[in-house]
Chain A
């Protein structure tokens, strides 16, 4: 599959709650705008929703954004889950980093992908061996 911007929880929150997130939102909007100019689609790995959907107050904004169908949710398939496990093993990280691993494994499902992330450290470690992946920090 072609090219995508894969959003982690910070990036999704910045777009879902644009008035509350100040500078993060401006950066996330700029990344989304440039992706749009280039015809690149935005994807949220399904496990990221486990990080951001923590009750109706939080869910409403995320649902409102996702229901617009401007950003697709990438389902967690068996293949992606197993790739995530392999990534954790390779980077010697525990399951505490599982969601970061799902983000990187989802990005690997595309020919090339940019990961928009608020926390580069672990994502960087997990994605380092893959030249088709790049990071954009929020």
Chain B
């Protein structure tokens, strides 16, 4: 079952709000903002998880990070 929606009042810079409205279009600003927030929460949780691994196991060697960046597909 989908989570019940909660109405929030947030403030953001005017330029950002107009760009978000424009981009959200007919999908609606609420669902656009909800997806952006979900994405950011997940990204932060991933960053925290990786930082914890770095602390407990030691950082990933630079050479390995460089290798992955090099292999990353160019789009």
Contact = CB atoms under 8 A, between A and B. Distances in A.
Contacts of A68: 45, 48-49
A71 B75 CA distance: 23
Given A18-B57, A26-B60, A114-B73, A33 B65 contact: yes
Interface residues of B, number: 23
B68 A70 contact: no
Interface residues of A, number: 27
User: DSSP class of B's interface residues: helix, strand, loop or mixed?
Assistant: helix
A32 B57 contact: no
Given A26-B61, A134-B73, A36 B68 contact: no
A34 interface: yes
A112 interface: yes
Nearest to A116: B68
Interface in B28-75: 39, 41-43, 45-50, 53, 57, 60-61, 64-65, 67-69, 71-73, 75
Interface of B: 39, 41-43, 45-50, 53, 57, 60-61, 64-65, 67-69, 71-73, 75
